[in-house]
Structure 1
Amino acid sequence: MEIWGVLVIRAAVDAGRLAIASLMIVNLVYSFLLDLMMCAFVFVYFLYFVMFIC
């Protein structure tokens, strides 16, 4: 019975590590996309500005 308890605890720890890792990856991807969107927005705004002047 103790072996099953250890296996369950190990499985829970592995699942927790996996969840934390996936959350970190999602956070990285989300911040990257957010930066990309900001850059695209600034670029489009700059293009509108240039077209407005020319």
Structure 2
Amino acid sequence: DFFFIPFIPLRRTYSLYIPKTDEYFENNYFGKMPKKYLEICKKAAKSR
């Protein structure tokens, strides 16, 4: 299960979120998803 979350502050950045590991890939770096985005992602994944 992969899905994209668009972040559009000043420049366009797309993050790839991996639900199974709670990790996300952004700008060629892996990291832990910030909590507020993590909750949004989990809700979005459940609503699919």
Higher relative contact order (CA 8 A, sep 6+): 2
Q: Which has the higher strand share?
A: 2
Do both proteins adopt the same fold according to a TM-score greater than 0.5, normalized to the shorter chain? no
TM (normalized to structure 1)? 0.28
Structure with bigger gyration radius: 1
TM (normalized to structure 2)? 0.31
